[in-house]
Structure 1
């Protein structure tokens, strides 16, 4: 299958837009404010499109259905992100292709919950070689660099994404709390 085939399939993800049985927003915080699982405002950014924010929300709401395999290479990473759900797989592919395109163009979306690990990847994008391959259920990406700091950032970001795929927003909240105390 081609990447364009998967991206075209991404238009049919409305059923994935809200978690099954969701009746109300999930709020948390000592005073009842905080993260809103219904609209997920932290997924917006200074230069993120509504479609990009929507894709991230779909992935966070459906993270238990996302699988991820990561291999750290001496000079980078190889990742395979996939789902048995074809609609979710299409969203994953669209998001990955879109974000790699943004890095290539130096267009940081500055999503509010974005990891600072991405800063170096946008700054040194010319030092990253990327290969993308669509799979039957998702996407495989290999990224390499001869810059050791970029390699470290690629590996750190891959681990962060894997943590989000495994634990959803809980992983983001914990990472943000650690950053706030440092």
Structure 2
């Protein structure tokens, strides 16, 4: 008689535990799923491999640039002015490798937006979606400087202006806090 109760209790406990795992899996954020996807294959979440920087439409060079920028975020300074019709940013660094990655990344991403060529990076902010859908409505001026890059982007489209403001703030947060900013963004 005691065995039957024990088996029934174990079965109930097992069903409860399985139910909890199902609920937990359903509640996972994109960030959590990224960890789960890369947890056991040697490509797990870490500051070295940064698997989330790969995309469906990125080159190895682009991924390497983003890795350099995230590894060296403390070496980057950024000034942003929100304009009524866009943004004006100046991003600088004194580190040569970071400088090269910064200039190439910014110029490359602006060219991708102009060509409607979404890189589909795993950790890419949803803010960028509107750029890749309607990037032809953004006017960009780029000036490569001795220590960085100055960019002014404007638009007559209020939704694009709002997205430019949001994206500039997201990039500034990444410059201030590195990958931690991305983690928090993905968890929201």
Range class of TM-score, shorter chain: 0.7 to 0.9
Structure 1 residue 88 and structure 2 residue 98: aligned? yes
If the length of structure 1 is used for normalisation, what is the TM-score?
A: 0.79
2:122 matched to which residue of 1? Answer: 112
Task: Quote the Cα distance in structure 2 between the aligned partners of 1:39 and 1:93.
Answer: 22
Report the structure number with the largest CA radius of gyration. Answer: 2
Which ranges in structure 1 are unaligned for 5 or more consecutive residues?
1-28
| Superposition RMSD in Å | 1.5
Aligned-residue offset at 1:72: 0.2
What secondary structure sits across from 1:141 in the alignment? strand
Counting matched residue pairs gives 149
1:48 matched to which residue of 2? Answer: 58
Q: Give the 5 Å matches for 1:19-58.
A: 33=39, 35-58=45-68
Which of the residues 121, 129, 138 maps onto 2:139?
Answer: 129
2:182 matched to which residue of 1? Answer: 172
Task: Quote the Cα distance in structure 2 between the aligned partners of 1:74 and 1:113.
Answer: 29
Aligned-residue offset at 1:94: 0.5
Which ranges in structure 2 are unaligned for 5 or more consecutive residues?
1-34
Aligned-residue offset at 1:135: 1.0
Greater helix share, structure number: 2
